[in-house]
């Protein structure tokens, strides 16, 4: 059987605006080839920096473009942990690759649990009061990877208040915010903090194309210079062709229309996954119901362990990621898994959930009417 992937958070092929991007790439090469084909400023392609600066209401010098946001996160974590490899607060569960970056830098990640509505602020406060001061708090407040959960407005304000009181910088990783299917958009932590105490990371990967490798950061001026220096040391300059292609796409007013298209395609997929879970999956399991983004979080029925389920699922032709991958040292998420609905077609999603359900305890028949 052909494997159905719920494992990787990648956009479905239909999401990628191949023709339009081809035209944009050709246009920038013809018009600005001398610039985009040479080395240039480590902070990125100036017109795109300026476009983003205007959109976010900051000076262009505070925007740094990186080759995907993960590379920027790696450089940034290096800067924030320089000379004091200490600890970092993260959500439990959180983005697994960030955990690997932190571990690679010799720092410890402390996981703060999530509730159904994002970071548990009581637990955060306890950790800030009781533990040693962390170098930063890493959070994905909107359509979180891996849980799909979103932190409500009140909680955003409280989080900022706690971080400020304890003098802890916040790194807000926000690649999914624009992939909203329903509900009211929320202000970012960066917006609520009016640009101080919060570093904002975002990306064109989930809203345009991951292969372009265009991510960006909004930073205080000092940190933006440090990030540019780290970028120069590491790779001299980013890919200007990709950044200029994104800028051309934005300048042609193609972005919003494309975003609507991506939202519709992913919404269909989320709906297919939710209704298939509802229909097929045994009592005792529960799952998040994201209003956007790429993922949902499945809490398995009692007695089912992700470590056993994941390899059996792979044999049955469906891949998913064990919850343990999203906790520091794998300590947590033993009875949970992340399911990405972003990639497979809706009919394949239904089939994938059916395959998964066949490995779970059978649904109890409804009690006969009295
Ligand atoms: C929360 C989060 N941050 C960062 C990234 C990295 O994205 P990119 O490097 O493609 O911009 C991802 C990708 O899955 C992600 O889920």
Dump pLDDT digits (tens) for 144-175: 999 999 999 999 999 999 999 999 999 999 99
CA of 69 to the centre of ligand 1 (A): 6
Q: How confident is the model at residue 282 (pLDDT cuts 50, 70, 90)?
A: confident
99, 100, 147, 175, best to mutate for ligand 1 pocket (most atoms within 8 Å of CB) = 175
Query: For atom 14 of ligand 1, which residue has the closest CA?
Result: 9
9 lines ligand 1 (CB under 6 A): yes
CA–CA distance, 9 with 11 (Å, rounded to integer):
7
Model pLDDT, residue 302 = 85
Burial of 185 (0-12, 13-18, 19+ CB in 10 A): exposed
Q: What is the mean pLDDT of residues 82-97?
A: 91
Q: Ligand 1, residue 67: give the atom nearest the CA.
A: 9
Indicate whether residue 72 lines ligand 1 (CB < 6 A). Answer: no
Task: Map residue 275 onto helix, strand or coil.
Answer: helix
Beta-strand (E) ranges in the chain? Answer: 4-5, 63-66, 87-92, 108-115, 118-119, 136-139, 170-173, 198-203, 215-218, 286-287, 295-299, 318-319, 321-322, 336-340
Q: Is the pLDDT of residue 140 over 60?
A: yes
With a 6 A CB cut-off, is 47 part of the ligand 1 pocket? Answer: no
Do 208 and 255 meet the contact criterion of CB atoms below 8 Å apart? Answer: yes
**Exposure string (b/e) for 261-296, b if CB count within 10 Å is 16 or more?**
ebbebbbbbbebbbebbeebbeeebebbebbbbbbb
Arithmetic mean of pLDDT, 235-251 = 98
Residues 317-362 pLDDT 10s: 999 999 999 999 999 999 999 999 999 999 999 999 999 999 998 7
Distance 125 CA to ligand 1 centre (A): 27
Q: Is 140 in the pocket of ligand 1 (CB under 6 A)?
A: yes
283 pLDDT exceeds 90? no
User: What is the model's pLDDT at position 369?
Assistant: 60
Cα-based angle 5, 265, 49 (whole degrees, multiple of 5): 100
- Closest ligand 1 atom to Cα of 205: 10
> pLDDT above 90 covers what percent of the chain?
93
pTM of the model: 0.96
- The residue length of the chain stands at 370
Distance, first Cα to last Cα, the chain:
44
Question: Residue 131: is its pLDDT beyond 90?
Answer: no
- Which residues have CB under 8 Å from 180's CB, separation 6+? 143, 263, 291, 292
Q: Is the CB of 11 under 6 A from ligand 1?
A: no
Q: Which residues pair with 321 in a beta bridge?
A: 338
Ligand 1 centroid to Cα of residue 34, in Å, is 30
Task: Please determine, for residue 370, whether its predicted confidence score (pLDDT) is greater than 60.
Answer: no
Residue 368 has pLDDT above 80, yes or no: no
Rounded to an integer, what distance in angstroms lies between the CA atom of residue 164 and that of residue 169?
A: 8
Task: Give the confidence band of 39 by pLDDT, cuts at 50, 70, 90.
Answer: very high
Across residues 205-229, what is the average pLDDT?
97
Separation between Cα atoms, residue 170 and residue 186, nearest integer Å: 17
d(CA 98, ligand 1 centre) in Å: 9
Whether the per-residue pLDDT at 367 is higher than 90: the answer is: no
Q: Please check whether residue 137 is in contact with residue 171, taking contact to mean a CB–CB distance below 8 angstroms.
A: yes
| Atom of ligand 1 at shortest range from CA of 210 | 10
Q: How far is CA 159 from CA 86, 180, 193, 213, in A?
A: 21, 22, 10, 30
Give pLDDT tens digits for 180-200. 999 999 999 999 999 899 999
Give the mean pLDDT of the chain.
Answer: 95
Q: What is the pLDDT of residue 7?
A: 98
**pLDDT over 90 at 139, yes or no:** yes
Q: What is the reported pLDDT for 41?
A: 97
The verdict on the CB of residue 146 being under 6 Å from ligand 1 is no
Q: From the CA of 71, give the closest atom in ligand 1.
A: 9
Cβ partners under 8 Å of residue 344, min gap 6? 4, 5, 6, 12, 269, 352
pLDDT at 33 over 90: yes
- Rounded to the nearest 10 degrees, the angle between the axes of helix 18-36 and helix 240-251 is 120
For the cut 80, the answer to whether the pLDDT of residue 364 exceeds it is no
The atom number, within ligand 1, closest to the CA of 294 reads 16
Query: 143 to each of 83, 150, 181, 262, 293, how far by Cα in Å?
Result: 33, 5, 11, 15, 5
What number of other Cβ atoms are within 10 A of residue 161's Cβ? Answer: 13
Which pLDDT score is estimated for 195? 84
Ligand 1 midpoint to CA 175 (Å): 6
365 pLDDT band (50/70/90 cuts)?
low
């Amino acid at each position: 059987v052909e494997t159905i992937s719920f494992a990787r958070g990648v956009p479905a092929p239909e999401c990628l605006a191949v023709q339009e991007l081809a035209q944009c790439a050709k246009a920038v090469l013809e018009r600005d080839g001398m610039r985009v084909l040479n080395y240039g400023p480590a902070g990125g392609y100036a017109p795109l920096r300026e476009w983003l600066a205007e959109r976010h209401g900051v000076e262009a010098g505070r925007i740094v473009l990186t080759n995907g946001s993960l590379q920027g996160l790696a450089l940034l974590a290096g800067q924030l942990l320089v000379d004091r490899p200490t600890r970092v607060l993260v959500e439990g569960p959180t983005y697994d690759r960030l955990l690997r970056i932190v571990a690679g830098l010799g720092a410890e990640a402390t996981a703060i649990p999530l509730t159904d509505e994002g970071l548990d602020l009581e637990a955060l406060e306890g950790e800030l009061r009781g533990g040693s001061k962390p170098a930063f708090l890493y959070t994905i407040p909107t359509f979180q990877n891996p849980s799909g959960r979103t932190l409500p407005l009140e909680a955003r304000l409280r989080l900022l208040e706690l971080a400020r009181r304890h003098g802890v910088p916040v790194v807000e990783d926000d690649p999914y915010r624009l992939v909203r299917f329903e509900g009211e958009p929320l202000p970012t932590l960066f917006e609520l903090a009016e640009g101080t105490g919060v570093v904002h990371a975002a990306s064109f990967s989930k809203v345009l194309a991951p292969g372009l490798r265009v991510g960006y950061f909004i930073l205080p001026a000092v940190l933006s210079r440090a990030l540019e220096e780290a970028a120069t040391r590491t790779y001299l300059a980013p890919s200007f062709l990709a950044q200029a292609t994104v800028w051309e796409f934005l300048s042609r007013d193609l972005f919003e229309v494309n975003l609507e298209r991506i939202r519709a395609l992913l919404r269909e997929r989320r709906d297919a996954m939710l209704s298939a879970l509802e229909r097929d999956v045994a009592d005792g399991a529960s799952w998040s119901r994201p209003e956007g983004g790429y993922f949902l979080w499945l809490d398995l029925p009692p007695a089912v362990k992700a470590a056993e389920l994941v390899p059996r699922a792979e044999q049955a032709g469906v891949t998913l990621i064990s919850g343990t991958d999203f906790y520091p040292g794998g300590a947590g998420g033993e009875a949970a898994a992340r399911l990405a609905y972003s990639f497979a077609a809706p009919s394949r999603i239904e089939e994938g959930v059916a395959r998964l359900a066949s490995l779970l305890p059978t649904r109890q028949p409804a009690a006969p009417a009295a």
